[in-house]
Amino acid sequence: MSERERESADKAVDRGEPAEAPQEDPETPDELETSEGPGELRDSAGPDEQKDPAASGEGADGGSVRRGRVAVAVGVFGELLITAGLVLALFVVYSLWWTNVLADRQAKKESDRVREHWAADRGPGDLDTRDGIGFLHVPSMSEKDILVKKGTDPKELNQGIAGYYTKPVKSALPQDQSGNFSLAAHRDGHGAKFHDIDKIDKGDAIVFETKNTWYVYKVFETLPQTSKYNVDVLDAVPKGSGKKARGRYITLTTCTPVYTSKYRYIVWGELVRTQDVDEDRTAPAELR
């Protein structure tokens, strides 16, 4: 208390008046003191209390990140599916169309070469095997002639031709007095020469053309489906054909159903006549 205040108090006491309590200067409370400076409110939450992530927005941001990652993964997976689909489509186009184009080109070159040999050599001899033994004609299956060569392995059939069997059962040849002239060709791709084999019916003509002879067969039976391991259909007297005695038969074989190789489709025919080839190579009536 100052000297003046004591004197005033003494005087008041002397006059019988109560003394006034001394007044102190106000101070700013601690709760208003912050590290940011006076006058700014301090966070009222205690040091051990945690904020709600959802209220602060941190949870929403995390969810957005996760959703973004999922969207990227789905996008990448979708692009991979599209790419795989395009690759598969290109493979189908290659297998079922482009291989036909290549095989047909190759077959035409070889067919032209065979006919050139025949035209240049008019001497005797029924079978010329230098580039192929002849041409198969099946009007109900195809309007085109089909070059026939030795062998039924893919490397032969992929050339767009038909091949005669050398194994597991050796084929007879058209000029043989008895036996089964058995042939195979692709149904899809690589020329697909037997694609429409299912259009062949009983009674239809099958004609085989060699250098000097036309061999005319008549279809007597078909077998729409059999095991790919059923080689008995190639026997001299083909099992399942209904024939019991040896004769001069022809057998056509290919894969079935279409676009698969699970089973085999079989057509059998029997020789009904032959016709000599004239200078103009006039086709038999069955082909006209």
Domain boundaries, the chain: 104-287
Higher pLDDT, 72 or 171: 171
What is the identity of the amino acid at 54? A
Average pLDDT for the chain: 82
What is the identity of the amino acid at 236? A
Q: What is the DSSP string of 86-126?
A: HHHHHHHHIIIIIHHHHHHHHHHHHHHHHHHHHHH--SS-S
Confidence of residue 125 (pLDDT cuts 50, 70, 90): low
104-287 carries CATH number 2.40.260.10: yes
Query: pTM (2 decimals)?
Result: 0.70
Annotation marks residue 190 as catalytic: no
The pLDDT of residue 62: 64
pLDDT digits (tens, 9 = 90+) for 47-62: 444 545 444 444 556 6
| Per-residue pLDDT at 282 exceeds 80 | yes
Average pLDDT over residues 179-184: 99
The pLDDT of residue 85: 74
* Contact call for residues 182 and 164 (beta carbons, < 8 A): yes
pLDDT digits (tens, 9 = 90+) for 224-234: 999 999 999 99
| Per-residue pLDDT at 136 exceeds 90 | yes
Annotation marks residue 137 as catalytic: no
Q: Please give the share of the chain, as a percent, with pLDDT higher than 70.
A: 72
| Per-residue pLDDT at 15 exceeds 70 | no
Torsion of CA 194, 149, 248, 140, to 10 degrees: 30
Confidence of residue 74 (pLDDT cuts 50, 70, 90): confident
The mean-pLDDT minimum among 7-16, 96-105, 146-155, 201-210 falls in 7-16
Catalytic residue among 137, 190, 195, 255: 255
Confidence of residue 16 (pLDDT cuts 50, 70, 90): very low
The mean-pLDDT minimum among 38-42, 71-75, 130-134, 194-198 falls in 38-42
* Contact call for residues 99 and 190 (beta carbons, < 8 A): yes
| Per-residue pLDDT at 40 exceeds 80 | no
The pLDDT of residue 123: 66
Highest mean pLDDT among 32-46, 75-89, 155-169: 155-169
The pLDDT of residue 176: 97
The pLDDT of residue 91: 59
Catalytic residue among 137, 186, 190, 195: 186
Average pLDDT over residues 116-144: 84
| Per-residue pLDDT at 205 exceeds 90 | yes
Specify whether the backbone of 219 is left (phi greater than 0), alpha (psi in -120 to 50) or beta: beta
